[in-house]
């Protein structure tokens, strides 16, 4: 079994990239997405830079605000996460 060696796993990197791509595909700036979510733009920036992790509930809400499919984004993360990777 493989333990992730960094705080930012491959799966996390893919999540961040997928969220940023979905936002851009929706034609939204970070500020416009933040406005939809009633958050500060810095929340979006920290999420997209990998400085803040989001939980599954937040992922669904985030995707709905962009008109993105959370299943598609989660599949990208699942595909990028090695089968033998451990938590911690």
State whether residue 12 is helix, strand or coil. helix
Place of tokens 């499919």: 69
CATH of the domain at 26: 1.10.260.40
pTM given for the model: 0.87
Rounded to an integer, what is the distance from CA 55 to the centroid of its chain? Answer: 9
> Which domain does 74 fall in, by range?
10-82
Any domain includes 73: yes
Percent of the chain scoring above 70 in pLDDT: 90
Which ranges of the chain would DSSP assign to H, the alpha helix?
Answer: 10-25, 30-37, 41-48, 56-66, 70-80
11-29 pLDDT tens trace: 999 999 999 999 999 999 9
Any domain includes 1: no
Give the pLDDT score at 4: 45
Any domain includes 60: yes
Any domain includes 3: no
DSSP category for residue 87: -
The pLDDT of residue 1 is above 90: no
Q: Contact at 8 Å (CB) between 69 and 79? A: no
Any domain includes 2: no
Q: How many domains does the chain have?
A: 1
């Amino acid at each position: 079994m493989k333990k992730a060696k960094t705080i930012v796993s491959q799966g996390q990197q893919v999540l961040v990239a997928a969220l940023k791509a979905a936002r851009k595909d929706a034609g939204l700036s970070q500020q416009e997405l933040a406005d939809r979510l009633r958050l500060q733009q810095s929340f979006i920036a920290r999420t997209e830079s990998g400085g803040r992790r989001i939980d599954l509930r937040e992922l669904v809400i985030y995707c709905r605000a962009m008109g993105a499919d959370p299943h598609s984004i989660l599949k990208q993360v699942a595909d990028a996460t090695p089968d033998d990777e451990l938590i911690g």
